[in-house]
Structure 1
């Protein structure tokens, strides 16, 4: 299986890079992980609604250009479905056994995601209604993906 992580914005903080690298290394037993970091558009301090919409459209086009028709896409969005870890693990297992070998996760930038990206998602998923920096969300996501595989293995990692 191949897992692709598409994120908007460059990760700068060393502690986040280190944590993400650790979980990606651990995931290597189960899947090949590809990270795609896309450039985020600069948002003016007092951007109008139209400017924000244009930024989302530009970022959305970049995201969609990195997704093929053969990928199962999970888009992280605040309005998405919430899962306990066990159900998330079952969902990944069902995706893998239903013929998809490429699983893609999308994390938007500071403004979120365009409607087109959300429409492309096979599943909209949320980690709750809290607002988290998208860089931190990537770390939380890779840990939960790793946890999902450990649950499938019956590992004591998930208690």
Structure 2
């Protein structure tokens, strides 16, 4: 199974980008041994539309255009479900074991994701009740993906 993060906005040079790269590299190394075929990141440009609804619709349409068939869609949404790391790992392991070709993680821009895109999601995931900048959400997601791999591998990184 291939993991794909589709995110609105670019990570600029700085600590967030460095952390994202570190967790992605750690996952790539461990993930291959667990049957994952890689982790890619697609950055979608932020819409320049004047109103929030149009920006959200344009960004969500651009995300949808990047989602291959036979994919599981997970959206990062502040109204989503909080999930502990072990449950997250079980989801990834189950999708991998069922032969799902792609798991897509969608991170919206400042206005969020369209209701239509959120309805297509198998999982709506939140990192707590707080609202997080999309740059931080990307780093936290990549860390959780790496952590899930360590859980699936029985590696001591996750101690719970």
TM-score scaled by length of structure 1: 0.91
Query: Which residue of 2 is the match for residue 2 of structure 1?
Result: 2
Residue 99 of structure 1 is matched in structure 2 by 99
2:39 is aligned with 1:33: yes
Out of 42, 63, 88, the residue aligned to residue 48 of structure 2 is 42
How far residue 69 of structure 1 moved from its aligned partner, in angstroms, is 2.1
* Aligned partners of 2:75 and 2:107 also within 8 Å: yes
Distance 1:82 1:101 in 2: 25
The one-character-per-residue Cα deviations of 1:111-140 (angstroms, maximum 9, x if unpaired) are 110012112212111111111100111000
**Counterparts of 1:33 and 1:99 in 2: how far apart (Å)?**
16
User: Does the Cα contact within 8 Å between 2:74 and 2:104 map onto a contact in 1?
Assistant: yes
What is the number of residues matched between the two proteins? Answer: 153
* 1:43 CA drift (Å): 6.2
The Cα RMSD (Å) is: 1.2
C-alpha deviations, 1:67-101, integer Å up to 9, x for none?
12211111111111111111111111111112202
In structure 1, distance between residues paired with 2:55 and 2:112:
10
1:47 matched to which residue of 2?
none
> Secondary structure in 2 aligned to 1:5?
strand
